Homo-oligomer: A and B are copies of this chain.
Amino acid sequence: MDHTEKMKELVNEVDQAILRYVEHGKHEKLIKAMRHYPEAGGKRMRPVMAILTAEAVGGRGKEALPFGCALEIIHNFTLVHDDVIDQDPVRRGKPAVHIAFDIPTAIIAGDALFARAYEILADIDVDGEAVRRLLRSVSNTVFLVAEGQQMDVDNEERAEVSREEYLDMVEKKTAVLFACAAEGGAIIGRGTEEQISSMKEYARLLGIGFQIWDDVLGIKGDAKKTGKPVGSDIRNGKRTLIVVDALERLEKDPRKNVLTAALGNANASDEAVHAAIQLLEDIGSIEQARQFALDYARRAKELLSCLRDCTEKEMLREMVDYAVGREI
């Protein structure tokens, strides 16, 4: 079985397990709201990463499935609340939870998903001290995700965001949950302490690269593939690494107006948005972000040397190429 087939099987297994975890409860509407995003699919990168890591350190991948599902459920909980906060009406091509239901239900469904994830943690088949360790890691992680989300909310109101602030925010909003997945997988697979910390760092680097690549796709990607209208990040005024870099480079450049006219301007014409994107290209800000992402990817791969050679190790390498390099 080649890797693509194996990956499909894995994702399929994860899909089914997640839906089983969010099917019981006495309140029908609440359960429907909780299932809304998990049912809409997703890449399932976090559970897959946990499973592959557990196997690659010498354990049994299946033992990490519940843990991986708990993290995917936490990921979904943060998406539900993020969409309320950002007033995003659409997610994965479906109405957001607060649109399909209402805002109170979306807030409660997010909380319920969070609680359910911890119910799963409590039942993981590892010894009590390992449960404590996973609990600590997951809870620290969610706290950091909340900080990252708060930074994101605050950054929208700020004209100047530094490169360091952007990377700190991305690390918290995205990378720490990947890191938790790989760390937890290595703990469940009974890896060495060195493997546990290397795998955590591998996933953290992958996560940052993933987000920077996402920003590149948001500006240069094919709208048909990404599902995002071209330039929406520009019109929304998103402070991506590309934009942060460009604003710095253009500080005393008269062309800066071309960018600022479109940035954060919901009514900017397609021409204005394309001109801004062309400018980002011309001054090298897009290419620089690509290089940044590729550098994170390279460093992530290096950390895989702590693993024995096996299919799962190769697949973890391919996950990096997917995270940084994908077209959608």
Contact = CB atoms under 8 A, between A and B. Distances in A.
Contacts of A27: 147, 150-151
A149 B30 CA distance: 10
Contact of A132 (B103, B104, B131, B147): B131
A196 interface: no
Interface of A: 25-27, 29-30, 78, 81, 84-85, 103-105, 107-112, 114-116, 118-119, 121-123, 127-133, 135-136, 138-140, 142-143, 146-147, 149-151, 153-154
A153 B105 contact: yes
Contacts of A128: 127-132
A182 B5 CA distance: 51
Given A122-B135, A150-B27, A143 B112 contact: yes
Nearest to A112: B146
A26 B172 CA distance: 11
A119 B131 contact: no
A176 to B, nearest CB: 12
A62 to B, nearest CB: 20
Main secondary structure of the interface of A (DSSP, over half): helix
Nearest to A142: B115
B146 A118 contact: no
Which of A85, A118, A119, A138 has the most chain B CB atoms closer than 10 A to its own CB? A118
Contacts of A26: 147
Contacts of A140: 115, 119
A52 B33 CA distance: 39
Contacts of A104: 85, 153
A119 B134 CA distance: 11
30 contacts: A25-B147, A26-B147, A27-B147, A29-B150, A29-B154, A30-B146, A30-B150, A84-B107, A85-B103, A85-B104, A85-B107, A104-B153, A105-B153, A108-B149, A108-B153, A111-B114, A111-B149, A114-B142, A115-B142, A115-B146, A116-B139, A118-B138, A118-B139, A119-B136, A119-B139, A121-B139, A122-B133, A127-B129, A128-B128, A128-B129
